[in-house]
Amino acid sequence: MAADIVLGVAPLVWQLYLELDNYRDGLKHRDTEVETAKVQLDIFTNWLQFISEDIISQVPLDTKTQDLIHRASVVARNQMEELAQFIKSLHLDVETSQSRRAQFKKRAGKLMYPFQRDQLKELQGRLESLNKILEAALKPVQHHIQQQPHQETHAALAGITELLQKLVATATPLQESNRRGSNDSKATVSSFPRSPRPLTQDETECLQTFRLTQGDRDASYEWYKDRVDERVADTCQWFLNHDNYKTWLHQRAGPLLVTADPGCGKSVLAKYLIDHGLPRDATVCYFFFKDQDQNKVNQALCAVLHQLFSARPDLLHHARGAKERNGKGLVHITAELRAIFEAAVRDPRAGETIFVFDALDECDPADLKVLVDVMNDAFLDAPPEFRIKCLMTSRPYEQVSGEFLYLTEKFPQIRIPGEQESETIRMEVERVIQVRVKQLAKKRSLSAKLQEHLTSRLLEASHRTYLWVYLVFEYLEEEAFKKTARGLDDVLKTLPNSVNDAYEKILSRSKETDFVRKALSLIITAVRPLQVSELNVALHVEPEHTTNFDLDLEEYEDFEERLRDCCGLFLTINHGKVYLLHQTAREFLLGQVPATTSHRTHIDAGSGGSNRPEVWHGSIVPEDAELVIAQACVAYLRHLDPNTFALSGPDGESDVEIEKLRRQNQENVDFLQYSAHYWDHHVRAAQKSSKFSSLIGMMDFQDNCSKTYWRMACFWITSFRLRYHEPAYASAHYQVHLAASLNHINIVVHLVDCGGNVNAGSDDYLDPPLCHAAVAGSHEIVRYLLDKGADANGTATGSALRRTALFPTTSWVSEDIVKTLLDSGADPNYRDQQHQTPLFFASSGIMARHLLDAGAEVNVVDLHGCTPLLTATETESEAVLETLLTWGADPNIRTKGGMTPLYEATKANWWRGFQILLEKGSDINTLEPDGKFTVWSYVASKALSKPTSDHELPVPVHLLHLVQQKLDKDDCSQPVTTPLHIAAHHGLAEDVCRLLEAGAKINARDEQGATPLVVAASAQHQNREVMELLLRAGAETDAASNTVTPLLAAVLDEWEEGVRTLLDAGADPNLATDWVGSPALHIAASYGLKSILEMLIAKGGDVNATDKSGRRPLQLALEWGEDSIEEVLRAASARE
C-alpha cells in the first residue's frame, strides 16, 4: 500500500523537474531566460525548504539521512545565493544592452541579443548543478521511505503528498506556459495575457507619444476605420474563399497583398477582417491610408505601435530610449520609428500579431518605399519564432505591386488580384443591391412588387461597383418619383450611368459654378485636408484686400451648409475638415479616372440613361488649381506682420493658441497656420500656370525687391521653428538667394531680369544663389544662373566652411546638377576649411565617378587624416567604396587616430565592405588603433560570439575562406584564432572540410592555446563529423590548451559521442591539466556519467589514479552518493 503511494508521489517530483528542464531548453538567447531563472530559483528555494525543513519535521528519518539532507541543503543554499548574484549581474548587462538596441545598426538586420553565449551557458550550468544537488538530496529520502514499515509511513506520506502538490502548483504557470510553447513550435515565452496589465505613469506617457490626435479636431486612426461601411452579409467571399488567403491565415508569418479596382470594396473588406474576420486571439493593428491626410509612413507606424503597445505593454521598453532622446519629436523621425517597430515585432513577447494597411495606393510614393523596406526587413530575414503577419490592400497599380518584388520571391502567394475576380465581385454587388433596395423600400414605403421591379432594373447594369451602388442609392433617396413601375422607370432614366456620370449630376445641380470650382480647386490641391474655417477664409480672401479685418465671411454653420448644398455628396465633412467623397472624385476633376471606373453602366429603361455633356470631368487643370490656392495664401499673408503672428510649429497651433492669436490681433487667423507653412509649396507648384504673372503682381515687386516676398518667407521660417533675425532677404541684394532656396524659378527669372545679382553674397557670409539652388535640387535654376554668369566655384568668404555648390550637390542632389556644374568649370579638388573636397561627400558611385572623371584626387587627406575611402566606409556606401578602390584609393591608409577602412568596416559589422576591402588589398593583420591587437583578432572575437542562428554566424561564413587565404600569406608565429577554429566552434562541417582542403593549419593554436580539435570538443554546436574531419586531417588528439585537452573538454560537456570518437582515435584517458586538476575518469565519476566512465575504463583509464587533491574516483562517487558509479568502479577493482 505504502509502496503504491510512494510510486504515486515520485512522478510528481520528477515531473516537476522535467517541466523545468523542458522549459529551460526552449529558451534561446532571450531576456526572458533571466526571468525564467528567477522563477526556477524561487521554485528551487521551495524545494530546499521542503527537503531541509518540512520533510525532516514530518518524516521520522535516521541521523545519517538527516545529515545528508542537511549537507545537500547547505551546498544548494550557497549555490542559489551565487545564482541570485549572477542573475543580478546579468540584469545590469541587459539594461545596458537594451539602451543600445535602438542605436544598433539596421544593416545587421537582427536584434542584438543581450547576453553573451558564455553567460547563457554559465546560467544553464548553474541551474543544472543546482538541479543535481537537489536530486541527490531527495534520493536518501526516497530510499529511507521505501525501507520503513507500511504503517509508519501513512501520516508522513500524506504530509509529503500535500507539500508536493503545493510545490507543483507553484510551477503550474510555468508548466502551462511550456505546454503552450510546445504546441506552438517551442515558443520561447509564455503567451501574453489578453487583458493588458495596468501601465505605470512613464509607460502611459510613452504610449501616448504614439497617439497623434490632438483633441476632437483631429481624426484618429480608429475614425478612419469606423467611417467605412460595414460589410453586407455573404459578400467578400471572393477573398475569404481564396486559396492564398487560407494559406496565409494558417501560416506562421508572412505578408499578403490584396489588389482590386477602385470602388470594389477593399476598405470594407479590411474593416470586416479587422473587426470580425481575423483570429480573435491575435493582436490586430491597422492603419487606413488617406490621400492628403493620412498618407505618411510615420503616421502609419505611430498608429500600429500605439495599438501594439496598448495590447502588449511589456514591449514598451523598446520605445523608451528613443522617447528619451527625441521627446515629442519622435513621431516625426521615421528612422527611429522603424527601429522601434522592428525591435518590437521581433520580440517573442509580441506573440501572434497581424498588421492591416489599407489603401497603399494613397500612401505618399516616397513613404510607400519606406513602408515596403520595413516589410522586407521584417519578413525576408525573420527568425524561426517570428509570428507576424501583414495584410495590405491597394489598387492594382504597378508602382505599388512592383515594390514587393523581393517579398514575392520568398512568398509566391503574396498577392490576391481582386481585379481578376470581377465576376465574383459583380455577383456580390448584386447582393448589396438587394439589401439596399430593401432599405430604400422601408424608407420610401415601396411595395414588394416595386422592390422586385427596381432590383431587376438595377441588376441589368454592367460594370457595377460598390461605389456606384452607394451613389445610386444616395441619388434615389433624394429624388422624388411616382411609386409605380413607370415612375421607377422614369427615375431610372436619370440615374447615373457611371461613377463619372454620378459626379457630373452631383456638381451640375449647383448654380454657383464659380464658388464650387474655386472650392474644389482649393480642396484637391491642399497639402492636407482644410478645415471648414480655413476654406471659408481661402474662398473669400481676394488680391485687392488691403486687410484681413473684414473678409465678409459667412458664419461657420452657414458656410458649412452652403458648401454641402453646392457640392452635395461630392464632399464629406468630418471633425471640421473637408474631404472628397472618394479618391476617384479627385481623379474625375483632373481627368485621371482609370478606365475600370469610367465604363458606362447602361440601364435599359426606355430611352436609356442620361447623356448630358460632361462639364466637370477634367475641368480642373492642376497648375491652375495650384495658382488659386497660392493666390489665396499670398493675399492672406501679404498684410500680416510675422513678428506679431509668430507660429510655434508646422503641425499647427492648438485651438487655444489660435483663439489667443485671434483675441490679441483682432484679425481672422483661421487661415494663418496653413498659408504660413505651405504658401511656398503652392507658389512652386503653380509656376507652370500661364497666369503665374498675376501672382508676381500680388507680391508687390519693385524692381528686384519685394517686402511681401520676404515677409512670407519669414512666416515660412518661423513655422519651422527656425531662428531668423537678420532681415537680409528683405533687400534686393539677397532676394535671388531666397527665390533660389525656395525653388521659385519664375521669381528668380523676374528678379534677374530686373537687375538681381547672380553672384550676390560671394564677399559676405551668405553663400551665392548658385549654392542655394544646388541645395534645393533645382536643376532648372542652376542652369539658368550659370547661363547668366554665376561663378561655378563661388563661395561666401565669411562662411565657416566655404564650400562651393558642388559640395552639397554630390551629397544628395541629382546627377544632372553635378554634371552641369562640372561642365561649367566647377573644381572637383576645391578644398573647404576642413581641407575636404566634394569627393568626401559623394553619395553614390555615379557621383564619385563624375568627380574622378573630372580629375578629383582619390587619396586626398583632410585635416584629420581622413580620406574619401574612410568616409565611404563610415557611411557604408558600397558603390562609392568600389569606385574609389577601382580608381586607386589606398585601402590601408590610416587616420591620425590610427583608424583604417578595414577596422571601421569591422567595427560597424559591415561585412560587405569588409569583403570588398579585403579583396582589394586591405591588410587583415594590421593593428587596431590601440596597437594591441590585429583587425583579424577583432573579427575573430565577433565570429565566436552570439550566433544569430544554428546556420548563420555573426561574421558571414564565406569571409572565413577569404580570410584564410590572407592569413596563409603571413608567417605569423603568434597564437591566433583561425577561420578553422571558428568553423569548428560552430560545428560547420562543410566549411571545416573546405578550409582543410585549402591548407588550413590543423594544429594551429589560438590565444588560449587551443587547437581546432579542442574547440570542436567544447563547441557551442558539437558535431561529430567536424571532429572526425579534424582527426583524419592529423589533429593531435592530446594537444592541450591552457586549460583542457580535447578529451577533458568533451567529458566536461558530457558529450558521449565526442568522448567515444576521441578515445577511438587514441586519446589518453589519464591525462590531466593544471587548470582541471583531474583526469577524465574523475570528472565522469563526479558527474555521475556512467556511460562515459565505462568507455574511459575500457580504453585504459586508471581507476585508482589520484587528482591534484589526492582523491580517487571511488571516493568522489561515494561522496556524491552515486551508487551506479560506485558499482562500475568496484567492478574495475577501484580502491577508496
**pLDDT grade, residue 724 (50/70/90)?**
very low
Within a domain: 191: no
Does the CA dihedral 809-811-812-816 come out positive or negative? positive
Q: How far apart are CA 812 and CA 814, in angstroms?
A: 7
Query: CA separation (Å) from 587 to 499, 524, 582, 620?
Result: 11, 10, 9, 10
Last residue of a domain, one of 653, 682, 706: 706
> Does one domain contain both 340 and 275?
yes
Beta carbons within 8 Å of 308's beta carbon, 6+ residues apart = 283, 285, 315, 344, 345, 350, 353
**3-class DSSP state of 113:** coil
Mean pLDDT over 1025-1052 rounds to 89
Q: How far apart are CA 690 and CA 80, in angstroms?
A: 84
Within a domain: 367: yes
**pLDDT grade, residue 2 (50/70/90)?**
very low
- pLDDT value of position 261: 79
Q: Is the pLDDT of residue 184 over 50?
A: no
Q: How far apart are CA 1098 and CA 608, in angstroms?
A: 102
| % of the chain exceeding 70 in pLDDT | 71
Q: How far apart are CA 65 and CA 171, in angstroms?
A: 27
> Does one domain contain both 362 and 253?
yes
CB atoms within 10 A of CB 1051: 31
**pLDDT grade, residue 44 (50/70/90)?**
low
**pLDDT grade, residue 171 (50/70/90)?**
very low
**pLDDT grade, residue 23 (50/70/90)?**
very low
- pLDDT value of position 597: 42
- pLDDT value of position 515: 92
690 burial (CB, 10 Å; 0-12 / 13-18 / 19+) is: exposed
- What is the average pLDDT score of the chain? 75
Q: How far apart are CA 934 and CA 94, in angstroms?
A: 29
* Lowest mean pLDDT segment, chosen from 49-58, 196-205, 668-677, 739-748: 49-58
> Does one domain contain both 454 and 516?
no
> Does one domain contain both 608 and 626?
yes
Q: How far apart are CA 1118 and CA 34, in angstroms?
A: 34
Rg (CA), the chain: 38
**pLDDT grade, residue 626 (50/70/90)?**
very high
Last residue of a domain, one of 386, 420, 454: 420
- pLDDT value of position 852: 94
* Lowest mean pLDDT segment, chosen from 310-319, 879-888, 1037-1046: 1037-1046
Within a domain: 1113: yes
Mean pLDDT over 917-942 rounds to 76
> Does one domain contain both 958 and 1084?
yes
Within a domain: 264: yes
Q: Is the pLDDT of residue 599 over 50?
A: no
- pLDDT value of position 41: 54
**pLDDT grade, residue 172 (50/70/90)?**
very low
- What are the tens digits of pLDDT across the range 195-246? 456 778 888 889 999 988 755 556 788 888 988 888 888 888 888 888 889 8
Strands 388-394 and 577-580: unpaired
Within a domain: 904: no
Within a domain: 744: no
**3-class DSSP state of 911:** helix
Q: Domain range holding 1076?
A: 930-1131
989, 1025 contact by CB (below 8 A): yes
Q: Decide which of 36 and 1120 is more confident.
A: 1120
Highest mean pLDDT among 599-613, 716-730, 843-857, 1006-1020: 843-857
Within a domain: 353: yes
Nearest CA-CA partner of 1041 in 1012, 1077, 1078, 1079? 1012
Phi, psi angle pair for 390, to nearest 5°: -145, 125
Q: Is the pLDDT of residue 348 over 80?
A: yes
**pLDDT grade, residue 1059 (50/70/90)?**
very high
Highest mean pLDDT among 199-213, 344-358, 981-995: 344-358
> Does one domain contain both 477 and 504?
no
> Does one domain contain both 425 and 408?
no
Strands 353-358 and 283-288: parallel
How is residue 46 written as a grid cell? Answer: 521551495
Strand partners, 392: 257, 357
> Does one domain contain both 393 and 451?
no
Q: How far apart are CA 675 and CA 247, in angstroms?
A: 50
- What are the tens digits of pLDDT across the range 330-344? 999 998 999 999 989
> Does one domain contain both 376 and 434?
no
* Lowest mean pLDDT segment, chosen from 545-549, 662-666, 981-985: 662-666
Q: Decide which of 764 and 1 is more confident.
A: 764
Q: Which residues of 392-412 are buried (b: 16+ CB within 10 A; e: fewer)?
A: bbbbbeeebbebbeebeeebe
Q: Is the pLDDT of residue 31 over 60?
A: no
- pLDDT value of position 762: 58
- What are the tens digits of pLDDT across the range 50-68? 555 555 555 555 666 666 5
AA letter at 504: E
Q: How far apart are CA 293 and CA 349, in angstroms?
A: 33
- Residue 344, domain CATH: 3.40.50.300
839, 877 contact by CB (below 8 A): no
- pLDDT value of position 606: 36
Q: For the chain, percent helix, then strand, then coil, each to nearest 5?
A: 60, 5, 40
Highest mean pLDDT among 380-384, 414-418, 751-755: 751-755
- Residue 948, domain CATH: 1.25.40.20
- What are the tens digits of pLDDT across the range 110-152? 222 333 444 555 555 666 665 655 555 555 555 555 555 544 4
Orientation of helix 317-326 relative to helix 334-346, angle to 10°: 170
| % of the chain exceeding 90 in pLDDT | 19
- Per the structure, the count of domains in the chain is 5
> Does one domain contain both 368 and 252?
yes
Residue labelled with grid coordinates 510551477: 171
640, 714 contact by CB (below 8 A): no
**pLDDT grade, residue 45 (50/70/90)?**
low
Residue labelled with grid coordinates 503528498: 161
How is residue 267 written as a grid cell? Answer: 476598405
Q: What is the dihedral of CA 6, 9, 15, 16, to 10 degrees?
A: -130
339 burial (CB, 10 Å; 0-12 / 13-18 / 19+) is: buried
Please, what is the Cα angle at 380 between 375 and 383, to 5 degrees?
Answer: 105
> Does one domain contain both 1095 and 1123?
yes
How is residue 782 written as a grid cell? Answer: 542652376
3-state SS string over 522-535?
A: HHHHCCCCCEHHHH
Within a domain: 700: yes
- pLDDT value of position 77: 61
Query: CA separation (Å) from 154 to 6, 145, 157, 166?
Result: 10, 10, 5, 19
Residue 107 per-residue DSSP state: G
Q: How far out from the chain centre does Cα 227 lie?
A: 28
* pTM tops 0.75, yes or no: no
How is residue 11 written as a grid cell? Answer: 512522478
> Does one domain contain both 603 and 613?
yes
Last residue of a domain, one of 394, 420, 446: 420
